[in-house]
Amino acid sequence: MASTKTPGVAVAIVRGSDVVYAKGFGVSSLDAPIPVTADTLFQIGSLTKVFTAATILSLAAQGKVRLDAPIGNYVSGLNPSIARLTASQLLSHTAGMKDEPAEYGSHDERAFAEYPRSWTSAYAILPAGTTFSYSNPGFTLAGLMVQEAAGAPFPQVVEERVFTPLGMKHSTFRPTVAMTFPLAIGHRGARGEAPAVVRPMAEDTRHWPAGYIYTSANDLARFAIALLHDKALHDLMAPRVEVPNELEPAHYGYGLFLETYRGIPTVWHGGDMPGFTAMMRVLPTEDAALIVLANRQAVRPDPILDGLLETLHRAPQSAAPHSQPAIPMTAAEMERYAGRYVNRFPIELFVRDGRLWVRRPDGEHAVEKIGENRFTTDPARTFRPAELEIFPATAQRSAYVNMFVWAFVKEP
């Protein structure tokens, strides 16, 4: 907390079926310094996605939805290119849908049902099944299927099928409910600088299923216990697709990343919202889980996880970096890659001074080829997220680049 200047943090640790540690640190707001406890509510951003997935599995178990059926069977009025997608594709980020921020937008709950029906075919940027590409709209659409199939508002269905059965008594999507409980206020600021309160708090009813749950460390611990031991939730953790460019080799299930974190299998999802950071890491082989909630944006809780692993006598180990020599590229090859690629934000590949470069929001970076379709912006080869994949166009799809957690599609 001191190194990141974070006002408040809540931590919970699960071993077996017990919450063996749950504690708050710091204050819920710099403006109103009320102590954080393990019951203080935080916005958890994209960690919401696993709850959307769990709700759909509950409906599927009762035959109310089919994961492999077109979404248009349940949601009317969709663009045909979107209506053909399935819940399984949406929940695994393999539907080929573009991403967009889920932060600020409508306060009108009716917008949730209206928004996906306004999407054009431009939201379907790649054929389904092409690759992993993270998409908030994909989970929004999956959540609308929940609402239509259950015949009740989406937040109510999640409460009835997940929150209430697991005893998550304070968890909610609605800020007017959250504010009736002890509530953390979000903060953010430049790295190394003192934070300021985020005003207004993020809200967008259009993207409820992608990132808007308010919950506590204690409530999340109850979900983690269920994830470890409830067979009904195990399908969430089945690997569905490889995730390119993660720090360690990873897959994605339904609303969860699966990877070996420093030598130990982990199942996890994080969340990052204006003013908040959330992380849940489940360690199936250790029968343990860690929840970290912070009221400052862009705080990496990995050091807390490392400390837990050391406590469990499992010293964290990182894979040794690969020594991958650069593969020469011809001028013609580099020109084939050059172009503007789009998804959540645009990137550009271009040739300058006989080298391939990528321009993206964090600046310009030289690109070296290290394998078939494989490239990196890290000359030292020590940081796997610096890698990217470039795939040429085929008769069925446009050329695209896998970078970070997105597929960027080349513009004509």
DSSP string, 179-230: TTS-B---EE-STTSPPEE-SSPPB-GGGHHHH--EE-HHHHHHHHHHHHH-
pLDDT score recorded for residue 331: 97
pLDDT of residue 255: 98
- Residues (pLDDT < 50) of the chain are none
Residue 382, pLDDT score:
85
CA-wise closest residue to 401 among 363, 359, 364: 359
Q: Name the fold adopted by 1-319.
A: Beta-lactamase (3.40.710)
Q: Which pLDDT does position 262 carry in this prediction?
A: 81
Give the burial class of 385: count Cβ atoms within 10 A of its Cβ; 0-12 exposed, 13-18 middle, 19 or more buried.
middle
Q: Return the pLDDT at 316.
A: 66
- Cβ-based neighbours of 190, under 8 Å, separated by 6 or more: none
Cβ distance 44 to 38 under 8 Å? no
pLDDT at 302: 85
Please report the pLDDT score of residue 133 as a whole number.
98
* Structure tokens that stand for 304 in this block: 């807390």
C-alpha triplet 9, 106, 124: angle, nearest 5°: 95
In this structure, the strands spanning 250-252 and 196-197 are unpaired
Predicted local confidence at residue 92, as pLDDT:
98
- Both tokens of 238, joined, read 């089945």
Q: Which long-range contacts (CB under 8 A, 24 or more apart) does 316-319 make?
A: 316/261, 316/262, 316/263, 316/264, 317/262, 317/263, 318/262, 319/248
Q: What is the rounded CA–CA span in Å between residue 262 and residue 309?
A: 10
pLDDT tens by residue, 74-109:
999 999 999 999 999 999 999 999 999 999 999 999
- Domain ranges in the chain with CATH number 3.40.710.10: 1-319
Angle at 182 between CA 53 and CA 58, to 5 degrees: 15
Spatial neighbors of 72 by CB under 8 A, at least 6 apart, are: 78, 80, 82, 83, 84
